[in-house]
Copies of this chain bind each other. A is one copy, B any other.
Amino acid sequence: MIKKREKLDVALKKLLKAIKHRTGCEIIDTLDSCGRVLAEDVIAKLTIPPFDRAAMDGYAVKAEDTFGADESNPAILKVVGEVETGEEPKVRVERGEAVRISTGAMMPEGANAVVMVEYTNENENLEVYKAVAPGENVSKKGEDFTAGKIIMKSGNIVQPFDVGYFLSAGVRKLKVAKKVKVAVASTGNEICDVLSSSEVAKIPDSNRPNIISCLKSIGCEVIDLGIVKDDVKEMHKAFDKALNCDAIVFTGATSAGKKDIMPEVIEDYGDLLVHGIAIKPGMPLAFGIVNGKPVFALPGSPVACLITLKLFVYPAIWKLQNTEVLAYPNEVIKAEVERRIPSNAGTRTFARVRLNKDFKVIPVMTSGSGILSSFSRVHGIVEIPENLEGIEAGEIVEVKLTRHLVKSDLGDKYEEDF
């Protein structure tokens, strides 16, 4: 009998609090890590960029040699060599000298800035028509990240675009939570297997293949226990087989009829936490805890089964891997802008942002598309249309998540947190 319909949020809190079991950790290849939960902070082994490099095509110079230069009064420098991208510089830049350089090339010793080719004229000597400040048009060594620093927090779920990020940081192995092993069964005398579905008076079982596909899609390993009859002895047998898994998901046998014995079976093995919930569809959901592991009796109605799977089983699956997913990639979070997000009118801007602990939006980068970490280290993107020139603090924007938003990774700014 369903005595009380628990509220969704209350029920979910009860569930997550009661799950004490964890799957443990393992070391895997970064190349195979998509969708896995990081079990420790990821530390860069390399520095990127590994050296100061030119951010523009032009001339590597000593900035002080260009001070005061303009169209009518150009600085005159002597070109003493050239550096191509991918080559080590063979020259040094002294006072009064310049070296031809390509975007991405290593800065020669002695130089501290790059004059863009547009502001020069090279004949016998080089004429420079614009002064540059020290560091101008140079990507500094370690600007993206430096060896020894945390480049991703534990609890994050590896996205496809993190793979290149980790690898370029020299991280070829990752410590992740082990996959969650889930035992899945359908219960009921009225259902039959979909792959042999010609038994008279029976309904093909759609729930089991659905649950199995869905759990696999979020990275679970599934132990298929098949169809279990509405019978306490049969249920106990199935349960006994499932106990070494990290979670148990049964479907059917939860509503108020005489055959609805799953909640009782949960009590035979552990604690029944919830039976009946104030959502529609999904009301007859029951779940409990056995040895710190979650056990679900999802409603047998196919839609209610899928909805409660997403609402309750998914969070449990993450908890077993020691993380808490607040939202999924592509979901939209509406939040207040904490600091102005700049953009140029006429250009659609994809501003990379993070959410801080108060769920406010912090722009991380609106330019600097060379900074690899700026994509993996953010939570999502705010799209600013061509007709706007930035978004002011205090406005409400929509952040489209580029990754799973996990509780352990909320924070103002990556640099501050780490």
Contacts and interface: CB of A to CB of B under 8 A. Distances in A.
Given A85-B259, A86-B188, A164 B330 contact: no
Contacts of A344: 280
B104 A372 contact: no
A130 B370 CA distance: 73
A255 B103 contact: yes
A245 interface: no
A278 interface: yes
A200 to B, nearest CB: 5
Interface stretch (A68-76, A119-127, A167-175): A167-175
Interface string A362-374: 0001111111101
A164 B199 CA distance: 17
Given A102-B257, A104-B188, A348-B279, A172 B160 contact: no
A392 interface: no
Q: How many copies does the complex hold?
A: 2
Interface string A203-237: 11111111111101100000000000010000000
Interface stretch (A19-27, A298-306, A316-324, A410-418): A298-306
A206 B88 contact: no
Contact of A369 (B205, B208, B302, B371): B302
A331 interface: yes
Q: Which of A88, A200, A303 has the most CB of B within 10 A?
A: A303
A385 to B, nearest CB: 10
Interface stretch (A44-52, A91-99, A263-271): A44-52
A50 B31 CA distance: 47
A190 B101 CA distance: 12
B203 A104 contact: yes
Contact of A164 (B106, B165, B206, B217): B206
A255 B304 CA distance: 52
Given A34-B217, A86-B192, 13 more contacts: A31-B209, A85-B230, A103-B257, A106-B201, A160-B210, A278-B347, A279-B348, A280-B348, A280-B367, A299-B369, A302-B375, A303-B352, A307-B369
Interface of A: 8, 31, 34, 46, 48-51, 53, 57, 84-89, 102-106, 160-161, 163-165, 167-168, 170, 172, 188-192, 194-195, 197, 199-214, 216-217, 230, 255, 257-259, 278-282, 299, 301-304, 306-307, 328-332, 343-344, 346-350, 352, 365-372, 374-375, 386, 400
